[in-house]
Chains A and B, each alone.
Chain A
Amino acid sequence: MSRTPVLRAARLGPRDVLHVGSAGLRSRPVRVVLSALGIAIGIATMIAVVGISASSQAQLLRQLDALGTNMLVAKAGEGMFSGQEVKLPKDAVGMVGRIDGVEEAAGTGDLDRTVRRSEKIPEGETGGIAVKAATERLLDVLRGRPAAGTWLNAANGRYPAVVLGHVAAERLGIDRPGRQVWIDDRYFTVVGILDPLPLAPEIERSALVGWDAAQRLLGFDGHPTAVYERSTDATVRQVQNLLAPTIDPRNPQNVAVGDPSSALKAKAATEGAFSTLLLGLGGIALLVGGVGVANTMIISVLERRHEIGLRRSLGATRGQIRIQFVTESLMLSGLGGLAGVALGSAAVAAYAATGGLPWVVPPWSAAGGFAATLAIGTVAGLYPAVRASRLSPTLALAAG
């Protein structure tokens, strides 16, 4: 017998692999959509969870940037003996203002009074709103703005005028200045309503009366309960150490110094740590989607036994049959993954748009989600593909 040339199976080029891998999908578009849907929902959920928390975090960081991290608050702490209330000295605001590095300072004083919508409402129903005396600089120190009306000033501070924090205004049901509220035993005119103050939630829940008016009309003793100050960025830590000893040199432990921006920073960090529960739900949806893809692939192999037999008769190796079905599975789940990334990003965009947040979808989440679908596609396709490649060509051709 003469020498016969060695037989070598030809390789399929990438285009041919895509061609045979997509053949089954092209002929059954509805099934493709339905079985990719599970994966899409899973990925969309995960992208949305990560994107929404990232957007909220970006919003907080942006806010923090605008509000600055150079504001500190000194409050009257609890005394050594529990329950004993400690007051700050009358001149505390002035003393703080003279500390090196402090650019401006302001104070509030708690008043043991209630504010109500009218005198007819029982005294007990305060709605959790505090009445405070406020110095004129308070709004500047907080970098706040009136949403409507004006802030307290020398002119209106002499009359029964009040400015409401936005939560207080909402709870009192007052939406614009000019209305009157009942404080202690008389009506005060609302001259302004403030914008939200993320650095001072306690002010958002307050009705603020001018320092002098509070003393004249509401029996305020002139002792501040909190002093707010802004310093240069460089001196924040230094000022923080000086606040308590400056305000109360003998009992500095009676003064509690706080950094409201640190609370906001902590909040930003927790916003960034997305809900693992929701993420887990997304993961379960993804898993179910993967099972759906595996199921579709098994059915696809069963239905296409003739095609498999035919391809074997045309010279396809077992490996080439495996590659065909793994490719099909990868395309199926990859399509689901792409749709999921698009859907999830759109959900984040919608959420961000309605909440006025910046739209942030971390690239790693999109890339990770897509990589997960490819991994799922491989796993889901492997078993059906191996089954397809092991089919006896003659049985495949004879079946049905």
Chain B
Amino acid sequence: MTAVVELTGVVKEYPGGVRALDGVDLTIGEGELLGIVGPSGSGKSTLLHVVGTLDRPTGGSVRIAGHDVAALTDRRLSALRARHIGFVFQAFHLVPGVAAVDNVAEGLLYSGLPRARRRGMAADALARVGLADRLRHRPHELSGGQRQRVAIARAVVGEPALLLADEPTGALDSASGEAVMDLLHTLNAEGATIAVITHDTEIAGRLPRQVRIRDGRVVADTARGKVAA
């Protein structure tokens, strides 16, 4: 199994002394779909940011798609995000007043691909998330679930090695949330490596692997549990 993510002894201490991550070891293999669960304030988002290279750890080592993050400059780190990592946020973060297809194409803006190709790929990505008939709709003309699917299309349009989602269903009703989770399952079945933060135990229960976090430590990992058992 090729590792997309390899964390060893990762520590993240915020100024002021809060240890949000306290020695995390985590390996995510290619094609995995895992849930990160844990109480509020346990360090889930911090972990996702460190994995997504949006934040640097204060200790330990982070390797993403084979690159040692600590050794990379801002430019190279940005290139790593542009090429290998897709993010989905609880609050969608779509650009208001801009058509869905253009919002998705924004996901390729920093990839170096030519403009026309970016739009073509964006339309394809929207079709993949079931919004082929909503290309020209602007965010305020879409439901919450549809908006989150646009955001997912933006995250996967560049075929990243790793898709990270921080409570993607947190702002949705249960039916829309279910549709979004189904979509993530489908994308995983098509080969995407996905890590989802959720506090919904029912949703987490349906994921192939669960990593439980408390006080910045991994307290349970079904993958490791299986190995240990």
Contact = CB atoms under 8 A, between A and B. Distances in A.
Interface of A: 1-2, 4, 7-13, 15-16, 20, 23, 26-27, 306-307, 309-320, 392-394, 397-398
Interface string B44-60: 01000100101100000
Would you list the 8 A-B pairs with minimal beta carbon distance, nearest first?
A315-B82, A10-B112, A315-B110, A4-B66, A7-B79, A317-B78, A9-B79, A7-B76
Contact of A4 (B54, B65, B85, B97): B65
B55 A394 contact: yes
- Main secondary structure on chain A at its contact with chain B? helix
A4 B67 contact: yes
A7 B54 contact: no
Nearest to B110: A315
A314 B77 CA distance: 11
B111 interface: yes
Interface residues of B, number: 35
Contacts of A318: 74, 78
A392 B85 CA distance: 18
Contact of B54 (A307, A317, A394): A394
B127 interface: no
Given A7-B77, A309-B93, A314-B154, 8 more contacts: A7-B80, A8-B76, A10-B79, A306-B93, A312-B78, A314-B82, A315-B79, A317-B79
Contacts of A316: 78, 82, 109-110
Contacts of B81: 312-315
- Main secondary structure on chain B at its contact with chain A? helix
A315 B52 CA distance: 11
B76 A9 contact: yes
Nearest to B52: A313
Contact of A9 (B66, B75, B89, B115): B75
Contacts of B83: 7, 315
Contact of A10 (B82, B96, B107): B82
19 contacts: A4-B65, A7-B77, A7-B79, A7-B80, A9-B110, A23-B95, A306-B93, A307-B93, A307-B95, A310-B89, A312-B54, A314-B81, A314-B87, A314-B106, A315-B80, A315-B81, A318-B78, A393-B54, A397-B89
B72 interface: yes
Contacts of B45: 394, 398
A307 B89 CA distance: 12
Contacts of B85: 313
Nearest to A315: B82
Contacts of A314: 81-82, 87, 106-107, 109-110, 154
A315 B55 contact: no
A10 B82 CA distance: 9
Contacts of A317: 74-75, 78-79, 110
B48 to A, nearest CB: 9
Interface of B: 45, 49, 52, 54-55, 65-67, 72, 74-83, 85, 87, 89, 91, 93, 95-97, 106-107, 109-112, 115, 154
Contact of B109 (A1, A20, A26): A20
Nearest to A304: B95
Contacts of B77: 7
Given A15-B115, A319-B75, A313 B97 contact: no
Contacts of A11: 112
A371 B75 CA distance: 31
A23 B97 CA distance: 10
Contacts of A16: 109, 115
Given A394-B55, A397-B89, A8 B96 contact: no
Nearest to A313: B87
Contacts of A7: 67, 72, 76-77, 79-80, 83
Given A1-B66, A314-B81, A397-B89, A10 B54 contact: no
A44 to B, nearest CB: 31
A312 B55 CA distance: 11
A10 B67 CA distance: 18
Contact of B79 (A8, A15, A309, A310): A8
B139 to A, nearest CB: 12
B80 to A, nearest CB: 5
A307 to B, nearest CB: 7
A11 B109 CA distance: 10
Contacts of A397: 54, 89, 93
A393 B109 contact: no
A398 B74 CA distance: 20
Contacts of B67: 4, 7
Most chain A beta carbons < 10 A, residue from B91, B107, B110? B110
Contact of A12 (B74, B93, B106, B109): B109
Nearest to A8: B79
Contacts of B112: 10-11
Nearest to B55: A394
A306 B79 CA distance: 20
A3 B80 CA distance: 15
Contacts of A312: 54, 78, 81
